[in-house]
Amino acid sequence: MAFISSGYNPDKPMEGRITDIGPRHYEEFYPAVIKKNKGQWDYHEIVKPGVLKHAALSGDVVYTVRVGGARLMSVTHVREICEIADKHCGGHLRFTTRNNVEFMVETEEALNGLIADLESRKFAGGSYKFPIGGTGACVSNIVHTQGYVHCHTPATDASGPVKAVMDEMFEYFQSMTLPAMVRISLACCLNMCGAVHCSDIGIVGIHRKPPIVEHDRLDNICEIPLAISACPTGAIKPTKVEIDGKKVNSVAVNASRCMYCGNCYTMCPAMPLASGEGDGIVLMVGGKVSNRISMPKFSKVVVAYIPNEPPRWPTLTKMIKHIVEVYAKDANKYERLGEWAERIGWEKFFELCDLEFSHHCIDDFRDPAYYTWRQSTQFKFTKHIEA
């Protein structure tokens, strides 16, 4: 395509340049009823899965329909969202912090029209474009990352596993039958962009092999001290190697100290470590961010390795479904997954969920590891011990 200028002049890059204007003010995009009743809301109720009703002191009501979003979406899809908003909601809509889409209307009649319209829309492949749900004690959208779509340090994909897991969890997205909400998140490497460290179920990509050191170009493209200080276990040291009779600066990796976090590759492009058969997924459970009843919790590793199985990740999805099912059956009302596991004891959690406990789950990172071991005689006998 021919070049079409936006008016920017590359010869005078600073001319007419607008900076530091920040985002648009959110009030510009309020629906009228939101603007009018801001700060004056009386109560809300969940009418049915995916549909909320907020009532204001003035007597106004606003219905919100929450629909699932794939997060990664085309302009065509965004335009379709806009078309729906134009048709039913006066051109207004919003996205949630879990990347769902919310449409707001003021009357029950408009609500029914909106719901019927949303439910009728499907992709050619058959999947719902705008599935309604994600409210109350459900599995709402999965907070996830870039994966093989755009990042250079992933150990697994993001969009693929998320689609596979949500297909398996779809009934829980469209219902409110769980003891409490179950938040699932995915990060494609240990950088943990997003919320895996504080989610009921966290899916994290991991490596199992140390980095390859490209001695021939390392000193040229890396700042060696940064690569050394990037290592949490002190496995990297500076060294000199001989290449074609020439001594060059490089680094040496002590493989027995390396736990394959990949931080050094983040800092130094000459230390790649991704591997087809080595990489996979760790499953973490029991995190939460809210202060409700118990304090916020980190999620904990319960499955040390699940292989990457594109395109549907069957082992992963089966395991998650099983954990959610056992939790749904056994936990008390209002009890989050982490609260449940701590109440029954982690040994019982492993037994009920049929998870194999391996030594990988035992913390061995610095002094705080000690506090995760059991300094008590209080425990329950499980089938793990009998075996």
Interaction mask 227-266, another protein, x per CB under 8 A: ---------------------------------------x
Interaction mask 200-219, another protein, x per CB under 8 A: -----------------x--
Interface with another protein in residues 156-195 (CB under 8 A): 191
Structure-derived torsion over alpha carbons of residues 135, 137, 138, 140, reported in degrees to the nearest 10: 50
- Applying CB under 8 A, among 223, 325, 363, 364 the residue interacting with another protein is 223
Q: How far is the CB of 240 from another protein (least distance, A)?
A: 13
- Applying CB under 8 A, among 5, 6, 76, 220 the residue interacting with another protein is 220
Q: Which long-range contacts (CB under 8 A, 24 or more apart) does 235-239 make?
A: 235/210, 236/264
Residue 226 lies near another protein (rule: CB under 8 A): yes
Contact assessment for residue 316 and residue 281, using Cβ atoms and an 8 Å cutoff? yes
Which CB sits closer to another protein, 25 or 247? Answer: 247
Q: How far is the CB of 219 from another protein (least distance, A)?
A: 9
Number of residues engaging another protein in binding (CB under 8 A): 15
Which CB sits closer to another protein, 90 or 232? Answer: 232
Residue 8 lies near another protein (rule: CB under 8 A): no
Cβ neighbours, 10 Å, residue 203: 28
Phi-psi bin for 18: left (phi > 0), alpha (psi -120 to 50), beta?
Answer: beta
Which CB sits closer to another protein, 234 or 296? Answer: 234
Which CB sits closer to another protein, 17 or 333? Answer: 17
Interface with another protein in residues 268-297 (CB under 8 A): 268-269
| Distance separating alpha carbons of residues 58 and 84, to the nearest angstrom | 28
Stretch of 39-47, 79-87, 115-123, 267-275 lying at the interface with another protein (CB under 8 A): 267-275
- Applying CB under 8 A, among 155, 164, 224, 323 the residue interacting with another protein is 224
Q: How far is the CB of 221 from another protein (least distance, A)?
A: 5
Which CB sits closer to another protein, 189 or 301? Answer: 189
Residue 57 lies near another protein (rule: CB under 8 A): no
Interface with another protein in residues 10-39 (CB under 8 A): 13-14
Residues 6+ apart with CB under 8 A from 191: 153, 266
Contact set with another protein (CB under 8 A):
13-14, 191, 217, 220-226, 266-269
